[in-house]
Amino acid sequence: MINYIWFGMICAGVVCACVTGRLGELSAAVMGGAQGAVELSLSLLGSMCAWLGFLRIAEEGGLTALLARGFSPFIDRLFPEYRGDREIQGKICMNLSANFLGLGNAATPLGIAAMRAMQERSPHKDTPTKGMVLFVVFNTASIQLLPVNMAAMREACGSAQPFGILPEIWLTSLGALVVAVLFCKMMERRAPPPRPGPYNGTA
């Protein structure tokens, strides 16, 4: 799947650049994109190390297990595969809390830690479990208590009420998440638990 997306993006881009005569921009884009990724990783490196460090302290102290137990009615239902697995549940909770509190720098490292823990338990090397797909889908949505970045942008543009759109944002993000999660649950029911291959036709 990712094979086709990546291939398609680059091929369509090259064809388009030929037609529109933007070949110069295209060559700059290839190298610029690669360089941008390195710059992003460098800026991510600090927060990645710091947050995985704090995560380890929270895990060894038993804080994440406590968090997992608190949220287990919710987490058990969404991720039934990991019922009772306090390590994975703890990592999922840490990521979702970071997202909720708007700590974007923390959410990615914590989310990757959760994905890796789920992958360790999975018998399949290249196919995600249902829980992994649902977890990624949670992270493609944006559930945030206080969207401070957006408020700052609005304030910079002279808004009289930077936070005036809070109810709209809450309803919209929650609605979008519910739609995506329902879709996942429907697909989970349709497809048997992951075997290498069965999703090829649908994805």
Site mask, another protein, residues 12-31, x = CB under 8 A? xxx-xx--x-x--xx-xxx-
Least CB distance from residue 93 to another protein, whole Å?
13
State how far the Cα of 141 lies from the Cα of 117, in Å rounded to an integer.
21
- Residue matched to tokens 């069965």: 198
Which helix (H) or strand (E) segment holds residue 77: the answer is: helix 72-78
CA torsion through residues 83, 89, 90, 94, sign: negative
The reply on whether position 60 binds another protein by CB under 8 A is: yes
Least CB distance from residue 86 to another protein, whole Å?
15
Least CB distance from residue 81 to another protein, whole Å?
14
Interface segment toward another protein; rule CB under 8 A; list 3-11, 75-83, 85-93 = 3-11
Site mask, another protein, residues 121-140, x = CB under 8 A? ----xxxx---xx-xxx-xx
Question: What separation in angstroms does the CA of 178 have from each of 9, 64, 139, 168, 196?
Answer: 29, 25, 13, 15, 28
The reply on whether position 49 binds another protein by CB under 8 A is: yes
